[in-house]
Structure 1
Amino acid sequence: MRLLALVAQFIDRFTEASGRLLAWLVLAMALVTTAVVVLRYGFNSGSIMAQEAIMYLHGCLFMLGAAYTLKHDAHVRVDIFYRRFSPRGKAWINSVGCITCLMPLCGFILFSSWDYVVASWVIRETSPEPGGIPAVFLLKTLLPLLALNLFLQALAETLRNARLLIGEPG
C-alpha cells in the first residue's frame, strides 16, 4: 500500500505544479484581451492571431486545469446529501464515482478523440482564418491531454480514498 500512496503523491505533486503554472494563463489572457481591445478601439486595428491566442489560452486553462480542480475538490457537485456524509461515506462516494463514471469518461474522451487529433497532426492543421495561429493541431491535442490528466488525478483520488476506507494512515 505504501507504493500506492507514493503514486498518489506523485500524481498530486504533478497536478499541483501544472495547476499553478496554468494559473499564469489567466494573466496572459487578460493582457492579450486588453491588447486586442486597445488595438481595436484605440487604433482601429485588429489581430486575428491575438484573438485566437485568447481562445488557445482559454482552452489550455480549462482543459488542462480540470485535474487541478478535481484535486482541490472545487468541481461542481450536488451536495444535497454528500455534505452530511462522514469522511468515510464521502470516500465511498468519491471512489465509486471515480471508478464508475470519471475514469470511464476519461477513457471514452481519450479513445474517441484520438483519430481526430492524429488526423489534425498529420496535416498540421492550421487556422482557417487568414493571419490566424497555424497550430490548430496543438489546440486539438488538449482533448487527449485532458483525458490523461483527469484520469491520473481520478486515480490519485481513488487511491487516497481507498487508503482512508481500509483505515491506513494518510
Structure 2
Amino acid sequence: MNRSGTQESFLSRLIGWLSELAGYASSLLILASMLVICYAVLLRYVLGASTVWQTELAIYFLIFAAFVGGAYGLKHGDHVKIDVVVNRLPGRVQLFVRFVAAILGFFFILIIAVIGFELWWEAVQMGRRSGTAWNPPLAYPYFILPLGMTLIALQYLVIVAELFQRLVSGRPGGPPPDETEDETLIE
C-alpha cells in the first residue's frame, strides 16, 4: 500500500524505483564532478599540468544530475511549486487543480522528451562531436535530456494515476502524491 492507502501497481513501483535510482545516480555524479574538479585544481596548481577533459566531464555530470535527478525530485515533492492559492481551495477542487496541473506537466515534459530524442538521434546519425580539445561524441551528453524527461514523464504518470484514483473514489484528503506525509504535517 502507498501513503494514501491505495495499492500500488507493479508499474508504479517500478517507476518509483527508477526515480529513486535516478536520484542516487545523480548524487553520485555530483560527488564525481566535485572530485574531477578537485583533481584538475590539484593537477594545475600543485603539479603545473593541465587536462583537457575535466571541465567538460564535470559539466556533463552536473547536467545529468539536474535532468535525470528531476524524477527523484518530482517523486519527493522537491520541485518548485507555488500553491498558495491551491492550498486554500476546498478538498475536491484542490485535488482537481493538482490533477490538471499534473496532466499539463506531463505533456510539457513529454514534448521536451520528444524534442530531446530528436536532437540526440540527429547527433548520433551525424556523428557530432563537442569540438573541444577532448572532443567526445555528443551522442552521450545529448542522451541526458531525453532520458531525464522520460523518467520525469513516467513519474508524472504515477502522480496523475494516483490523483485520478483519489478523484474517482472521492478521497480528496491526505497529502498530494508528490509530497511525503511528514512535509504535510509540518505545514
Bucket of the pairwise TM-score, normalised by the shorter protein:
0.7 to 0.9
Structure 1: distance between partners of 2:7 and 2:128? 42
Partner of 1:103: 106
Partner of 2:142: 140
What is the letter of the counterpart of residue 46 of structure 2? G
Superposed CA RMSD? 2.5
- Aligned ranges 1:35-114 → 2 under 5 Å: 35-85=39-89, 88-99=92-103, 101-114=104-117
Structure 1: distance between partners of 2:52 and 2:170? 55
**Bigger RCO of structures 1 and 2 (CA < 8 A, at least 6 apart):** 1
1:10 counterpart = 2:14: yes
| CA deviations over 1:90-134 (Å, ceiling 9, x no partner) | 4323211121x212212221232333211211133222112x151
- Structure (1/2) with the larger helix percentage: 1
Change (3 A) 1:41 1:157: same
Partner of 2:166: 164
Q: Which runs of 5+ in 1 are unaligned?
A: none
| Number of residue equivalences | 167
| CA deviations over 1:67-112 (Å, ceiling 9, x no partner) | 111000010111322344566554323211121x212212221232
| CA contact 1:4–1:159 (8 Å) conserved in 2 | no
What is the letter of the counterpart of residue 139 of structure 1? P
Query: TM-score, with normalisation over the residues of structure 1?
Result: 0.84
Q: Which runs of 5+ in 2 are unaligned?
A: 1-5, 175-187
| CA contact 2:68–2:149 (8 Å) conserved in 1 | no
Partner of 1:21: 25
Query: TM-score, with normalisation over the residues of structure 2?
Result: 0.77
